[in-house]
Chain A
Amino acid sequence: MTTATQTAAAGSLSGGAALLTLMKLRTFIALFAVIIFFSIFAPNFLSTANMILMSKHATQNAFLAIGMTFVIITGGIDLSVGSIVGLCGMIAGGLIMYGVALPLGYTAYFNVFEVALIVAVVGILIGAVNGLLITKLNVAPFIATLGTLYVARGMALLYSDGQTLPNLTGREDLGNQGFSYLGSGTILGLPVSVWILIVVALGAAYFARFVPLGRHIFAVGGNERAARMSGIRVNRVKMFVYMFSGFCAAIVGLIISSELMASHPATGTNLELNAIAAAVLGGTSMSGGRGTIGGTIIGAFVIGILSDGLVMMGVSSFWQMVIKGLVIIVAVVVDQAQRRLQQRVTLMQLAKAG
């Protein structure tokens, strides 16, 4: 009887290991699954034009998801990114259309590059507000960023009284033309926004592996007390991740308003949820400590391809929401199952060795 139970245990152990590998590769599997599925069922899915369009959509999610990944790895959450997208888009539009009215009756206009810089700084500053609320005032990340979500959205609406700022072409005499390049330009056939994503993603991945502050993100999320005891400046790490998340949101705000050549204050509503979904789908653990930039990018593409593919198949947008929700839930369930399985496998090994 003992031999029987032992072989059974050994069998379940190796079976568990195989299952574990399968679970670890789930994001890749999901990506291939959606690509194969839609290339069969959605007409024109594999056409170049569609590929470029989809990659542009996925890019927007991916930017936010990169920032979100760092935040979630520290054990936090940033709900404000969608609103930051909206506010930053409005500021970009406003700067191009109206400039900044200085008190002396003189209006300052900025060229496109300066506008982008200012908008990025605004995004970082909103992130810094989140960070300060969380580190200095001890507000739970969920609440702090929920607050800034409303404040930023409200400010975006106030900025133009809810109106869209149309035709951001700029004026030749003010030297602020060319805003459309960010959203519609291409380099070597690929959209500029995709190139920016590649740069930001590589930068973030480099940062997570080769820069001490990046490594500390993982330590803080894995065990904040231990990180603090090891001399890691936990508050500095948290400030950084929220500021970076704000920066990523500002980029998306710029790209969207540039693509549409218009700024609408409701832009980016609910995008934070797509970003969280992408990060989670990519294997980022909501309890902190684990996650990769690569996984998140794949996750963002899965979600992007999923929603575009469903549109092409003519699935109603109501059903799209249901399907997206289910995919996210399944992703988290599988993540939890993987964690439990992993724990069991190691404990069994330990128990046997001990």
Chain B
Amino acid sequence: MDDVILELKDITKAYSGIVALKKANLKLHRGAVNVLVGENGAGKSTMMRIIAGVERPTLGEIFLDGERIELSSPADAVRHGIGIVFQELNLFGNLSVAENIFATREITRGLRGIDHKAQVEKANEFLNRLEAGISAETLAEDLPIGQQQLVEIARAVSLDTRILIMDEPTSALSAAEVDVLFRVIADLKTRGVAIVYISHRLEELMRIGDYITVLKDGEITGHALVKDIDTRWIVRSMIGSDAKDFAKPVEHEPGEEVFRTEDICLPRAQGGYAVDHVSLGVRRGEILGIYGLMGAGRSELFECIMGRHAHSSGKVFVEGEELKGRDTTRRIREGLALIPEDRQREGLVQSMSIADNLSMASLGQFVRAGFHIDLKREKNAILEAIRSLSIKARNPEFDVTSMSGGNQQKVVIGKALMTGPKVLLMDEPSRGIDVGAKADVFRTMRRLAGEGLAILFSTSDLEEVMALSDRIAVMSNGRLVTVVDRRDATEEMIVSASAEGHKTRRMHA
């Protein structure tokens, strides 16, 4: 077709441990809004980063106007007329709006340097077109988030782009600002700009989209004209036929309470609390799911429990005894273990082998004569962990980065289990792993609970918390809003509870 401006052919992108895109094909149309949807981690952002030249594909080719091009840097992409508005804001807070808009292509007057007056004038022109009501001379950091987003968009528009990528541009905008944005998009469309629009808000997509592409687990699962489809089609393509495989609950009665926190508090640097007087208990063999949105304080709660924050307060009890040690080493010794949310930064040591990663937290158990590690006992324990968690490791001496994300996650879980914990804390245990590995992880959680371990896990996936937990705790803005038995919980109840703490703030989708 002749109106295709950019085409991705068989693009594969692998990161250490995970294949983010698998042979993805995408066509972008001129003068149209090309919508891209998919769940978190489906590969949308990766694809956009490839188009914007931020990342290079591992395999595959990119064609612009039918000609093969290499995008090896963002500057390359800009030269080809590709602009992007990132999900995370990329403004220089210490510079003015005008300086931000003209960063790297300042208007100069020869040797006399930057022509600030001309820049401000031109910037104001762009901002007026967006009806942003922003003066180009204000510092970027003095603007509220929504207006910063508009500045980003103004910058992208000012580049005379032929392809403009917008990664969730409305997530921080008010309804009125969204209307303005949509008018700008319509205006750009008439000028023949191809717009790539990424969003989670389905009604928005239906309103402005022309073409829609659905991504799932790094693969394209659907491509259609928006006018031919409805939201049900989108959801079906996003979730796919293979519904999530949750392990059947092993029926067993939870035992007595083994873990309790009292008044855990963590002050926030900007005032208020990141964790606000949280008290909860978990019984032996019970899975307590903590549901909450981003920034609800779940990770911070876990970190306080593990003694990561010196200035946190509150008490932690294991088997009725208050834990005295205030650092992670002693907390682990006292029977706690944490699977961190960010596997790459806090879970794994990438330079070490699978075996070394598994045993690194529990080396003390294999020691003879006070210092000598019994390699044989260590190896047996490692093999036992690999077997019981069904980790796919061809050779435990291989680098841990040679495995898939799901198996890496199992290594982190195995490391925690090898310390022999009584209470297991799992922060978003299913993040960034594929469907099969998720099912494995869930099964493992069930089995461990059946063996009498007390498990706390956090998630922002509603389906997951409903399916896995014996009891559900909802956190919002640092507070523990409610704890309910799964049998009594409904999805509406949990969603409304999770918004409780944000009542005074503007809601995001």
Residues of A near any B CB (own CB < 8 A): 9, 209-213, 215-216, 218-219, 221-223, 225-233, 285, 288-290, 343, 346-351, 353-354
A230-B372 contact given A290-B351, A351-B58, A351-B59, CB 8 Å threshold = no
Interface members, chain B 308-336 (any A CB < 8 Å): 308, 327-329, 331-333
Question: Does A211 lie within 8 Å of B372, measured CB to CB?
Answer: yes
Question: Does A354 lie within 8 Å of B22, measured CB to CB?
Answer: yes
- In Å, the complex CA distance between A9 and B17 comes to 20
- Number of A-B contacts defined by CB within 8 Å: 116
Chain B contact residues: helix, strand, loop or mixed: mixed
- In Å, the complex CA distance between A230 and B419 comes to 9
A223-B348 contact given A210-B375, A215-B373, CB 8 Å threshold = yes
Contact partner, B349, options A212, A219, A346, A348, Cβ 8 Å: A219
Chain B, residue nearest A218 (CB): B352
Chain A, residue nearest B329 (CB): A231
Chain A, residue nearest B401 (CB): A346
Question: Does A215 lie within 8 Å of B356, measured CB to CB?
Answer: yes
Question: Does B363 lie within 8 Å of A222, measured CB to CB?
Answer: no
Interface residue? B16 (CB, 8 A): yes
A319 nearest CB across to chain B (Å): 37
- In Å, the complex CA distance between A156 and B192 comes to 75
Interface pick from B97-105, B339-347, B472-480: B339-347
A218 nearest CB across to chain B (Å): 6
Question: Does B338 lie within 8 Å of A223, measured CB to CB?
Answer: no
Question: Does B347 lie within 8 Å of A229, measured CB to CB?
Answer: yes
User: Which A residues are in CB contact (< 8 Å) with B415?
Assistant: 230
Question: Does A215 lie within 8 Å of B372, measured CB to CB?
Answer: no
Interface residue? B12 (CB, 8 A): yes
- In Å, the complex CA distance between A251 and B329 comes to 34
A218-B58 contact given A229-B338, A231-B329, A347-B16, CB 8 Å threshold = no
Chain B, residue nearest A228 (CB): B328
- In Å, the complex CA distance between A181 and B352 comes to 42
Interface residue? B489 (CB, 8 A): no
User: Which B residues are in CB contact (< 8 Å) with A232?
Assistant: 329, 360-361
Chain A contact residues: helix, strand, loop or mixed: helix
A230-B351 contact given A223-B345, A348-B58, A350-B404, CB 8 Å threshold = no
Interface residue? B364 (CB, 8 A): yes
Question: Does A229 lie within 8 Å of B372, measured CB to CB?
Answer: no
User: Which A residues are in CB contact (< 8 Å) with B17?
Assistant: 350
Interface residue? B301 (CB, 8 A): no
17 A-B pairs with CB atoms under 8 Å apart are: A9-B59, A212-B373, A218-B349, A219-B356, A221-B351, A226-B346, A228-B328, A229-B306, A229-B328, A229-B340, A230-B332, A230-B360, A231-B331, A231-B361, A233-B329, A289-B351, A354-B14
Interface members, chain B 170-209 (any A CB < 8 Å): none
Interface residue? B75 (CB, 8 A): no
Question: Does A231 lie within 8 Å of B328, measured CB to CB?
Answer: yes
B219 nearest CB across to chain A (Å): 10
Contact partner, A231, options B351, B399, B419, Cβ 8 Å: B419
- In Å, the complex CA distance between A290 and B218 comes to 32
Closest 7 CB pairs of A and B: A354-B19, A289-B351, A222-B349, A222-B351, A231-B332, A230-B361, A212-B363
User: Which A residues are in CB contact (< 8 Å) with B13?
Assistant: 351
A198 nearest CB across to chain B (Å): 20
Question: Does A350 lie within 8 Å of B345, measured CB to CB?
Answer: no
- In Å, the complex CA distance between A216 and B364 comes to 11
Total residues of chain B contacting the partner, CB 8 A: 46
Question: Does A212 lie within 8 Å of B347, measured CB to CB?
Answer: no
Question: Does A351 lie within 8 Å of B14, measured CB to CB?
Answer: yes
Question: Does A347 lie within 8 Å of B371, measured CB to CB?
Answer: no
- In Å, the complex CA distance between A154 and B419 comes to 48
User: Which A residues are in CB contact (< 8 Å) with B332?
Assistant: 230-231
User: Which A residues are in CB contact (< 8 Å) with B350?
Assistant: 222-223, 289
0/1 string, B201-232, CB within 8 A of A gives 1: 00000000000000000100000000000000
User: Which B residues are in CB contact (< 8 Å) with A218?
Assistant: 349, 351-352, 356
- In Å, the complex CA distance between A213 and B371 comes to 9
- Known contacts A233-B327, A288-B351, A354-B22; 4 further A-B pairs (Cβ under 8 A): A215-B363, A229-B308, A348-B59, A351-B13
B44 nearest CB across to chain A (Å): 17
User: Which A residues are in CB contact (< 8 Å) with B331?
Assistant: 231
- In Å, the complex CA distance between A231 and B335 comes to 12
User: Which A residues are in CB contact (< 8 Å) with B346?
Assistant: 223, 225-226, 229
User: Which B residues are in CB contact (< 8 Å) with A228?
Assistant: 308, 328
- In Å, the complex CA distance between A343 and B401 comes to 9
Contact partner, B351, options A9, A212, A213, A285, Cβ 8 Å: A285
Interface residue? B402 (CB, 8 A): yes
Residue among A209, A216, A231, A232 with the highest chain B CB neighbour number at 10 A = A231
Contact partner, B19, options A211, A226, A351, Cβ 8 Å: A351
User: Which B residues are in CB contact (< 8 Å) with A226?
Assistant: 340, 345-349
A21 nearest CB across to chain B (Å): 15
- In Å, the complex CA distance between A16 and B59 comes to 16
User: Which B residues are in CB contact (< 8 Å) with A285?
Assistant: 351
User: Which B residues are in CB contact (< 8 Å) with A343?
Assistant: 16
Question: Does A210 lie within 8 Å of B373, measured CB to CB?
Answer: yes
Chain A, residue nearest B353 (CB): A218
- In Å, the complex CA distance between A223 and B375 comes to 23
Interface members, chain B 354-400 (any A CB < 8 Å): 356, 360-361, 363-364, 367, 371-373, 375, 399
B272 nearest CB across to chain A (Å): 25
User: Which A residues are in CB contact (< 8 Å) with B399?
Assistant: 346
Interface members, chain B 15-38 (any A CB < 8 Å): 15-19, 22
User: Which B residues are in CB contact (< 8 Å) with A351?
Assistant: 12-14, 19, 58-59
Question: Does A211 lie within 8 Å of B348, measured CB to CB?
Answer: no
Chain A, residue nearest B60 (CB): A351
Contact partner, B345, options A209, A225, A231, Cβ 8 Å: A225
Interface members, chain B 90-118 (any A CB < 8 Å): none
- In Å, the complex CA distance between A343 and B399 comes to 11
Question: Does B333 lie within 8 Å of A231, measured CB to CB?
Answer: yes
Residue among B329, B350, B364 with the highest chain A CB neighbour number at 10 A = B329
A233 nearest CB across to chain B (Å): 5
Question: Does A346 lie within 8 Å of B340, measured CB to CB?
Answer: no
User: Which A residues are in CB contact (< 8 Å) with B340?
Assistant: 226, 229
Chain B, residue nearest A354 (CB): B19
- In Å, the complex CA distance between A216 and B352 comes to 11
Interface members, chain B 257-313 (any A CB < 8 Å): 306, 308
Contact partner, B360, options A213, A219, A221, Cβ 8 Å: A219
User: Which A residues are in CB contact (< 8 Å) with B363?
Assistant: 212, 215-216
0/1 string, B435-446, CB within 8 A of A gives 1: 000000000000
- In Å, the complex CA distance between A343 and B402 comes to 9
- In Å, the complex CA distance between A346 and B408 comes to 14
Chain B, residue nearest A236 (CB): B329
User: Which B residues are in CB contact (< 8 Å) with A230?
Assistant: 328, 332, 360-361, 415
B281 nearest CB across to chain A (Å): 24
User: Which B residues are in CB contact (< 8 Å) with A221?
Assistant: 351
Chain A, residue nearest B328 (CB): A231
Chain B, residue nearest A206 (CB): B372
User: Which B residues are in CB contact (< 8 Å) with A231?
Assistant: 328-329, 331-333, 361, 419
User: Which B residues are in CB contact (< 8 Å) with A227?
Assistant: 349, 360
User: Which A residues are in CB contact (< 8 Å) with B22?
Assistant: 354
